[in-house]
Structure 1
Amino acid sequence: MTTILQNSPSATFTLDHVFKFPQIFTANPDNVRHILKTHFDNYPKGNFFISTVFDFLGNGIFSVDGESWKFQRQVSSHAFNTKSLRKFVETVVDTELHDRLIPILSDSDKTVLDFQDVLQRFAFDNVCNIAFGFDPACLLPSLPETEFAVAFEEATNLSSERFRSVWWRWKIFRFFNVGWEKSLKIAVSKVHGFAKKIVREKKQELAENSCLESPDLLSRFLSSGHSDEDFVMDIVISFILAGRDTTSAALTWFFWLLHKHPEVENEILKEIKEKSDMPVFEEVKDMIYTHASLCESMRLYPPVPADNKQAINDDVWPDGTVVKKGTVITYHPYAMGRMEKIWGSDWAEFKPERWLKRDEEGKWSFVGRDSYSYPVFQAGPRICLGKDMAFLQMKRVVAGVLRRFKVVPAVEDGSEPVLIAYLTTKMKDGFPVRIEERGKLD
């Protein structure tokens, strides 16, 4: 898809499927702005996307439109204010980092770890804490296979398979309860059963103490007057999906790129040393070079490689593309990160400096790009609520890990990981690494 978009005059092409919805792909920032902002109301998630993920995500925020989406976004926004973000970094993330992640890396003794799996466990514990007020303890030294986490991973991957199949095929499999649809049904049942148990326990907790000092996301929704277990369960499952898979995917690719570019790692180490005496929250907020490096990594490997909408009415895009009612629209962050028209002739280079400029004193300052050229966190009314939380969490992990360790891929020189696109980007067969203790930064 990227190659086709790179060679299309306006970075847009129409794909005429057999037995599927017509589909248009675009990596054109003007078109993306048109879809995500200017004509937002004409491009909801739509029936194609909603029906494909409904069994897993139900009526959660990422798979609904209209008033239900607005309500969920409004209630959720309170979980992302400055006070909540500070608490998340200083308690949830920092505790998981020091009590679980660092000891596991320290005790690895240069044995091979699947760092993708470790980072997923780290993110899963964090998001369950902030969403449910529940600790699944996936990142214990034994790296336990908890039923909820395993079922969640399987449900995510098998739901993604539906996008690769023609709609009637997976619906036939589902009707007869065979093949991967049977496995998906089992996995979803386990996820829903466990989530409902947590919802009931939280209801009981709120009944006994209706004024929690620091309410989690689940408490906020239950306190908003919505007590339907299925509805609240769908909301929280969507947030777990977003919080677990996106940050872990971004960090997995980041640590691989960092090993390939030791000069970038050295700059980050300098920054970590400079900020080491600051309080945790201020430290991660002020890590400018690390922030730029994460942005650059996600340019090349966005956690969500492509996203779908569906046209309600006929339309014409800024580049002249004619869109018919019912057409599935896919804007493509993965391809957009590889467009020479957006990033220049050096687009293939991992170059954090493209996000930076030096001030008169020689210090770095961050130079952002508009979210329609870089829609890694979506853009417009549906821009990601958790963007700041994700950056704070990732920067805290980077600082905590690199201060103590060097992450070395356990692969043959010259070999490249294979990208697979489920609902998020992952490395096929994981990310095998060896952890080496680093000398004290001085």
Structure 2
Amino acid sequence: MPTKWPLLGMLPALLKNSHRIHDYATEFLSECGGTFEFKGPWFCNMDMLVTSDPANIHHIFSKKFSNYPKGPEFKKIFEILGDGIVNADCELWELHRRTNISFLSHVKFQNLLETIVWDKVERGLFPVLDYFSEHGTDVDLQDIFQRFAFDNICKLVLDYDPSSLCYDLPNIPSEKAFNDAMEALFNRHVLPESIWKLQKWLRIGKEKKLIEAWKAFDELIYPRILLKEEKYKDDDDDDDDFNFLKIFGKAYEEKNGSWSTNSRNLLRDASLNFMLAGRDTTSTCLTWFFWLIASNPVVEVKIRDEIETRLHLKEDKKWRFFNVEESRKLVYLHGALCESLRLFPPVPIEHKTSTHPDILPSGQYIRENTKVIFSFYSVGRMEKVWGEDCLEFKPDRWISERGGIIHEPSYKFPAFNAGPRTCLGKETSFFQMKLVSASIIYHYNVQLLKGHQVSPRDSIILQAKHGLRIRLSRRNEV
């Protein structure tokens, strides 16, 4: 348990364990029953309540949702995301959510998604993996997944393919900017506000990288917004042109009464928020998924057998595209992905601030403006939540006796957040992850590089610190 020192509070323990903060939080949360009051230095306003208790998560994210907005502190830390859905509260959040739903549920969305993902698998993923397989060189699979997801989400949101996934692995500033930004945002959670604000003013350390990342994002997004503006001025009634910028642009134009600079800025914020979710959640889950199955070859064999059986590949002897509906047949693969998300949720922490006093189900009294930190990483590793085998990788825990998927409540399985803020792109993510993982497992043998250490990075997104170095070989029977 963290020691409380005079003047410094528990900050020394936090800094000492900052390189393994998620596992450290899991250790002391397990010891104290799932909820812990952290006391920071008296002069830094770092006091907070840390919890991994599903009852508290359900209470705050659902039952008392209106009492726990993101709040000004959250927006201050995540200022790079502007007024997008991640930062937004109240009326603006409802506008973002309503527009996201209209985009994701549009009759043309599923076909657009399937076309983009399959095209990138066929023209991007396979050629790159074949190249490294033929040359016998190792490759960082996490980097491959990040590039794959980045190209996909740029095409889906901006109607632009940056082509970052090719065999020479080019350095594209806006693609790498996501990693730099997430590390800097994590730093803002650990350091006192006065320290990271000083770094920002001096343009040093991780704050310098955050400033550079902000510039890279703007240079990627704003030109695409301006191109779409010009197009819609000339052809405003083109109903066949279904895309993210058009749908969101119209929503913000209606909100403001006319198109303005504010509409353009809102569209930039919406695009960046959507891109962050699309790049980092799927790529992070796939990274840990392949690390887990490489350590559990029996699971890999079962997944491969399911792919061949459910998609009739044993009869056809040829790989083929499968759509969203067919992806639902891959039940065991779905369970394995859920296990990866349970143990390594892409967004390992979340925080909110109370607007009024409250009492949590765990018994703690919440004052007004209390910061509450949720360790989603710890939820999946709690014996009292998932049983004594909580640290084991067991896809079968997600499969019912009848062979269907067991759907756990979001407060017990918060990988996609919980309550009204549950991720709207959950099904989109599962389809993309199934198509990518099935394509690789069917075509290649994946072997971890000997001696390569894999551990979580200190970041808002739970990436592997040193990547996932692997060697590939084509399967003989394919």
| Fold match (TM-score > 0.5) | yes
* Count of residue pairs brought into register by the alignment: 433
Contact 2:444 2:473 in 1 (8 A): yes
Show the counterpart of 2:245. Answer: 218
Q: Does 1:242 align with 2:252?
A: no
Show the counterpart of 1:427. Answer: 464
Alignment of 1:82-97 (within 5 A): 83-84=107-108, 86-97=110-121
- Alignment-mate amino acid for residue 380 of structure 1: G
Alignment of 1:254-269 (within 5 A): 254-269=289-304
Match of 1:287 among 316, 319, 330: 330
Contact 1:314 1:323 in 2 (8 A): yes
Shift of 1:324: 1.2
Show the counterpart of 1:100. Answer: 124
Match of 1:12 among 29, 35, 39: 35
Shift of 1:89: 4.2
- Alignment-mate amino acid for residue 220 of structure 1: I
Contact 2:108 2:242 in 1 (8 A): no
- Alignment-mate amino acid for residue 272 of structure 2: I
Alignment of 1:191-210 (within 5 A): 191-210=217-236
Distance in 2, Cα, partners of 1:296 & 1:201: 42
Distance in 2, Cα, partners of 1:24 & 1:80: 35
Q: Does 1:417 align with 2:443?
A: no
Alignment of 1:14-413 (within 5 A): 14-18=37-41, 19-54=44-79, 56-81=80-105, 83-84=107-108, 86-108=110-132, 109=134, 110-210=136-236, 211-226=238-253, 227=259, 228-277=263-312, 279-359=322-402, 364-412=403-451
Deviations, residues 237-279 of structure 1 (Å, cap 9, x unaligned): 1111111011100000000000111111111101110132484
Distance in 2, Cα, partners of 1:79 & 1:440: 41
Deviations, residues 373-426 of structure 1 (Å, cap 9, x unaligned): 1111111111101101000100010111111012211132xx641111312101
Distance in 1, Cα, partners of 2:465 & 2:471: 18
Shift of 1:285: 2.1
Shift of 1:155: 2.6
- Alignment-mate amino acid for residue 244 of structure 1: R
Distance in 2, Cα, partners of 1:268 & 1:85: 28
Q: Secondary structure at the match of 1:417?
A: coil
- Alignment-mate amino acid for residue 394 of structure 1: M
Identity %: 33
Distance in 2, Cα, partners of 1:318 & 1:259: 40
Contact 1:2 1:335 in 2 (8 A): yes
- Alignment-mate amino acid for residue 246 of structure 1: T
- Alignment-mate amino acid for residue 390 of structure 2: W
Deviates further, 271-280 or 95-104: 271-280
Relative to structure 1, the CA distance from residue 308 to residue 225 in structure 2 (aligned partners, 3 Å threshold; closer, same or farther) is closer
Contact 1:309 1:329 in 2 (8 A): yes
Q: Which runs of 5+ in 2 are unaligned?
A: 1-24, 254-258, 313-320
Contact 1:89 1:392 in 2 (8 A): no
Shift of 1:300: 0.6
Runs of at least 4 residues of structure 1 off by over 6 A? none
Distance in 2, Cα, partners of 1:427 & 1:279: 29
Shift of 1:225: 4.0
Shift of 1:163: 1.6
Q: Does 1:2 align with 2:37?
A: no
Deviates further, 206-215 or 286-295: 206-215
Shift of 1:162: 1.6
Deviations, residues 299-327 of structure 1 (Å, cap 9, x unaligned): 11110111111111111001111111111
Shift of 1:224: 1.9
- Alignment-mate amino acid for residue 200 of structure 1: L
Deviations, residues 184-203 of structure 1 (Å, cap 9, x unaligned): 22321221132111111111
Deviates further, 289-298 or 273-282: 273-282
Deviations, residues 120-152 of structure 1 (Å, cap 9, x unaligned): 000001111111111111112221112321334
Relative to structure 1, the CA distance from residue 196 to residue 169 in structure 2 (aligned partners, 3 Å threshold; closer, same or farther) is same
Deviations, residues 32-53 of structure 1 (Å, cap 9, x unaligned): 1001000001111112211011
Contact 1:152 1:188 in 2 (8 A): no
Contact 1:304 1:425 in 2 (8 A): yes
- Alignment-mate amino acid for residue 204 of structure 2: V
Deviations, residues 354-383 of structure 1 (Å, cap 9, x unaligned): 111232xxxx21111111111111111111
Provide the TM-score with structure 1 as the length reference. Answer: 0.94
Contact 2:183 2:458 in 1 (8 A): no
Distance in 2, Cα, partners of 1:65 & 1:411: 47
Q: Secondary structure at the match of 1:329?
A: strand
Deviates further, 365-374 or 201-210: 201-210
Distance in 2, Cα, partners of 1:158 & 1:309: 19
Contact 1:249 1:425 in 2 (8 A): yes
Shift of 1:167: 0.6
Q: Which runs of 5+ in 1 are unaligned?
A: none
Shift of 1:212: 4.5
Distance in 1, Cα, partners of 2:431 & 2:108: 12
Relative to structure 1, the CA distance from residue 282 to residue 261 in structure 2 (aligned partners, 3 Å threshold; closer, same or farther) is same
Relative to structure 1, the CA distance from residue 406 to residue 85 in structure 2 (aligned partners, 3 Å threshold; closer, same or farther) is farther
Deviates further, 204-213 or 126-135: 204-213
Distance in 2, Cα, partners of 1:358 & 1:220: 43
Contact 1:85 1:389 in 2 (8 A): no
Shift of 1:86: 2.6
